[in-house]
Amino acid sequence: MARIVAAAHHATARGATKVITIDGPSGSGKTTLAEAVAHDLGCPVVHMDDLYPGWDGLAESVDLVTDQVLEPLSRGEHTAYRVWGWTRGDWGRTARLPATDVLVLEGCGSSVGRAGEYAAVRVWVDADEQVRHRRGLERDGETFAPHWDRWSAQERALFGPDRTAERADLTVRT
């Protein structure tokens, strides 16, 4: 974690907000790492989980986070973004985030495509697939179990062509 915080301090913002992305496959430990990094940096965290429009929405979330979060923050503006209600299966509340100097953006797809263009530091987090699967089920319970394979296929389809892991500034194995 110290490497990430040091990299964040030395990185150049791409706009008004210095964005630290913490990306990688489900269950790799991104959220835990992001919370610790944000605590050390004294900045907010935006979770991609809030922006996925359901179990088939991974690719779509890249444009959503770019349009609703990253572009306004890069201009020094506050932002408001819709939060997906996983229980109801539709868009629920609106989250508001004031303009900020530093932001940790955490989740699958946070550094992919257009979203990655705003990243000052890209972190890739990974773990063995069995470990990730166990963590995912421990975290989300059996509600995630029937979606694991479908979600993993979306991750591969998104990360592979984008070369997300290879383009990371730092890699963390958990």
For 71-99, what is each residue's pLDDT tens digit?
Answer: 999 999 999 999 999 989 999 999 999 99
pTM of the model: 0.94
Residue 145 has pLDDT above 80, yes or no: no
Chain centre to alpha carbon of residue 13 = 17
Q: Which residue has the tokens 């990243």?
A: 119
74-78: long-range pairs with CB below 8 Å, 24+: 74/14, 74/15, 74/16, 74/17, 74/118, 75/15, 75/16, 76/15, 76/16, 76/17
**Total domain count, the chain:** 1
Residue 146 has pLDDT above 90, yes or no: no
Whose CA is closest to 122, among 25, 14, 4? 4
Crossing angle between the packed helical segments 2-10 and 30-41, to the nearest 10 degrees: 50
Whose CA is closest to 120, among 62, 73, 172, 68? 73
Mean pLDDT of 8-21: 98
Whose CA is closest to 33, among 105, 92, 95? 105
Which residues have C-beta within 8 Å of that of residue 51, sequence separation ≥ 6? Answer: 61, 64, 65, 68, 69, 81, 82, 83, 84, 107
Task: Determine the pLDDT at residue 148.
Answer: 84
Whose CA is closest to 108, among 13, 31, 1, 44? 31
For the stretch 107-141, pLDDT in tens is 999 999 999 999 999 999 999 989 988 887 788 77
Question: Which range of residues forms the domain containing residue 143?
Answer: 2-173
CATH (domain of 110)? 3.40.50.300
